[in-house]
């Protein structure tokens, strides 16, 4: 059984190498052999020209000394390693407030994993045979990834394929740098493994569980290969192997889920840094943007990933939209699917504006309505045009007071109803008052809405209810 697992993953390695090879190992026609020497001379000349050209610097990584790893010998690789370590360990100094958009969710997810680590691990199988199988599977999966990268570097010397050479070198460089980071955290934190002590994974107890070096090495190598050869099959194979490492390390009771998650994250972040600083675009491969670049807006963004709060049902904009829908200026508004988000309202405003521009009737009232809506949703319209959507706004502050004589009618089964369309706010006979406020904030893909209402009347002296979109029963 054990040999079947190992043989299966060796087969995956062979498949990866075959995929990477593409047509390079195809048999040469006889006339190609006569041109081999001339081709090698041209390749050598191009390599020398590439060494003389100063590569472009990556502006997103300050104080870097960009190099093309594929053109370096072992002496230069040692210098690259030291520069890489400098970039990695000094990266916290470049953290900005906008990085909280991805650091806070990742930290919260990691904290959640740590809270459940002990219970999760306690429910896994303690069978020695099962543990041994998964342990062998994790080792075989890491070996398959490292073997794929090492094999590409080895075969590049015979085939003179610079793309293979760079892939092997960058994968090894990423793995080494990520392992240094992992080992630099593992021993000071000293977390026990699931099979040590009472299985609670206590920190600062001389353990070596957090983070996982297997996961870091697997994801660093997989990330480089997947971006050097960005085909769907390649990504499926290498990321599938890396995910297998994570799963099997947990099932083998060598690590907790939080250990492999943090290890995988470290491996991916380090690999991205190495790849973006040392990759030669002329050899092929895909661009690899960092999480920081994406969340700071340096990468591509679209309205599809912009956070937007809902507009309360008692807001003044809905009657205005109803009028524009009735006049035929809006066809995409779904009356039965409310509340709408502020971003959806901006889409509808754009539709109304376009149709008004084509309308020859020059309806002054409709133009005034659209102008009022454009003023209300100016930030959202700007975001749709590619601008910033950051805002912090008090939406409403209100107070209502009324007196009710006699028994109020609270349902529609009578000939009349005392109060309708007040969105769930309670009322009783006598003096009634409602006071509240609402506010919201948006930044990037995140939005926050806060609302509070306080009602006073004779029978229910003071009632708090969350301001929102309560529907009339």
Task: Reply yes or no: is the peptide bond before residue 306 cis, omega within 30 of 0.
Answer: no
8 Å CB contact between 188 and 207: no
First-to-last CA distance in the chain? Answer: 63
Confidence band for 48, pLDDT divided at 50, 70 and 90 = very low
Closest to 149 in 3D by CA, of 223, 42, 83? 223
- Give, for 80, the enclosing helix (H) or strand (E): helix 74-89
Q: Where are the alpha helices (DSSP H) in 201-231?
A: 213-228
Report the range of poorest mean pLDDT among 50-64, 119-133, 164-178: 50-64
How confident is the model over 313-320, as a mean pLDDT?
A: 91
Contacts of 159 (CB under 8 A, 6+ apart): 24, 25
8 Å CB contact between 269 and 291: yes
414-461 pLDDT, tens digit each: 677 787 777 777 788 888 888 999 999 998 778 899 988 887 766 554
Residue 272: phi and psi, rounded to 5, are -65, -40
Residue 457: phi and psi, rounded to 5, are -160, 170
- Rounded distance, CA 48 to CA 41, Å? 11
pTM of the model: 0.60
How confident is the model over 308-315, as a mean pLDDT?
A: 90
User: Which range has the top average pLDDT, 39-53, 230-244, 351-365?
Assistant: 230-244
- Rounded distance, CA 321 to CA 71, Å? 63
Q: What is the pLDDT of residue 10?
A: 44
68 has pLDDT over 70: no
Instruction: Domain 2-21+48-295: give its CATH architecture.
Output: Up-down Bundle (1.20)
- Rounded distance, CA 273 to CA 29, Å? 41
- Rounded distance, CA 358 to CA 329, Å? 10
Edge-to-edge strands, sheet with 463-466: 391-404, 430-443, 446-456, 463-466
369-393 pLDDT, tens digit each: 999 999 999 999 998 888 888 899 9
* Domain definitions of the chain by residue range: 2-21+48-295, 305-384, 391-466
CA distances from 167 to 159, 206, 300 (A): 14, 36, 26
Q: What is the pLDDT of residue 8?
A: 52
- Rounded distance, CA 40 to CA 42, Å? 5
For the residues of 323-369, what is the DSSP string, one character each?
Answer: HHHHTTS-SS--TTS-SPBHHHHHHHHHHHHHHHHH-SS--HHHHHH
73-130 pLDDT, tens digit each: 566 777 888 888 998 899 888 887 767 878 888 999 999 999 999 999 999 999 999 9
Percent of the chain with pLDDT over 90: 46
Q: How far is CA 329 from the centre of its chain?
A: 38
């Amino acid at each position: 059984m054990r040999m079947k697992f190992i043989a299966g993953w060796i087969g995956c390695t062979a498949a990866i190498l075959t995929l990477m090879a593409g047509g390079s190992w195809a048999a040469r026609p006889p006339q190609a052999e006569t041109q081999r020497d001339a081709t090698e001379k041209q390749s050598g000349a191009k390599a020398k020209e590439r060494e003389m050209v100063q590569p472009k610097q990556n502006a997103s990584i300050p104080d870097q000394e960009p190099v093309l790893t594929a053109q370096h010998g072992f002496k230069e690789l040692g210098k690259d390693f030291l520069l890489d370590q400098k970039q990695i360990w000094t990266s916290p100094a470049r953290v900005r407030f906008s990085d909280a958009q991805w650091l806070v969710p990742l930290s919260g997810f990691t904290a959640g994993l740590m809270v459940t680590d002990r219970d999760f691990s306690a429910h896994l199988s303690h069978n020695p045979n099962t543990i041994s199988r998964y342990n062998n599977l994790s080792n075989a999966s890491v070996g398959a990834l490292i073997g794929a990268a090492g094999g590409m570097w080895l075969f590049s010397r015979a085939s003179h394929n610079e793309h293979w050479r760079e892939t092997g070198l960058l994968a090894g460089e990423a793995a080494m740098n990520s392992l240094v980071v992992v080992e630099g955290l593992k021993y000071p934190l000293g977390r026990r493994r699931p099979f040590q002590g009472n299985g609670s994974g206590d920190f600062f107890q001389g353990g070596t569980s957090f983070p996982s070096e297997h996961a870091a090495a697997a994801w660093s190598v997989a990330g480089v290969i997947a971006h050097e050869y960005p085909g769907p099959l390649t990504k499926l194979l290498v990321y599938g192997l890396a995910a297998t490492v994570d799963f099997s390390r947990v099932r083998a009771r060598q690590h907790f889920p939080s250990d492999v998650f943090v290890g995988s994250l470290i491996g991916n972040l380090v690999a991205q840094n190495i790849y973006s600083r040392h990759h030669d675009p002329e050899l092929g491969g895909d661009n690899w943007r960092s999480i920081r670049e994406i969340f700071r807006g340096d990468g591509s963004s679209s309205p599809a990933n912009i956070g937007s709060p809902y507009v309360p049902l008692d807001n003044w904009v809905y009657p205005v939209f109803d009028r524009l829908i009735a006049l035929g200026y809006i066809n995409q508004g779904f009356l039965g699917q409310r509340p709408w988000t502020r971003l959806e309202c901006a889409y509808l405003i754009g539709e109304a504006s376009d149709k008004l521009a084509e309308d020859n009737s020059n309806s002054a009232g409709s133009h005034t309505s659209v102008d009022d809506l454009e003023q209300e949703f100016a930030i959202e319209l700007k975001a749709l045009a590619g601008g910033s959507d950051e805002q912090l706004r008090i939406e409403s502050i209100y107070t209502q007071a009324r007196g009710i004589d006699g028994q109020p009618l609270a349902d529609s089964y009578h000939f009349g109803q005392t109060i309708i369309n007040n969105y769930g706010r309670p009322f009783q006979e006598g003096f009634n008052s409602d006071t509240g406020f609402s506010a919201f904030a948006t930044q990037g893909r995140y939005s926050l809405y806060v609302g509070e209402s306080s009602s006073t009347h004779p029978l229910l002296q003071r009632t708090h209810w969350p301001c929102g979109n309560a529907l009339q029963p």
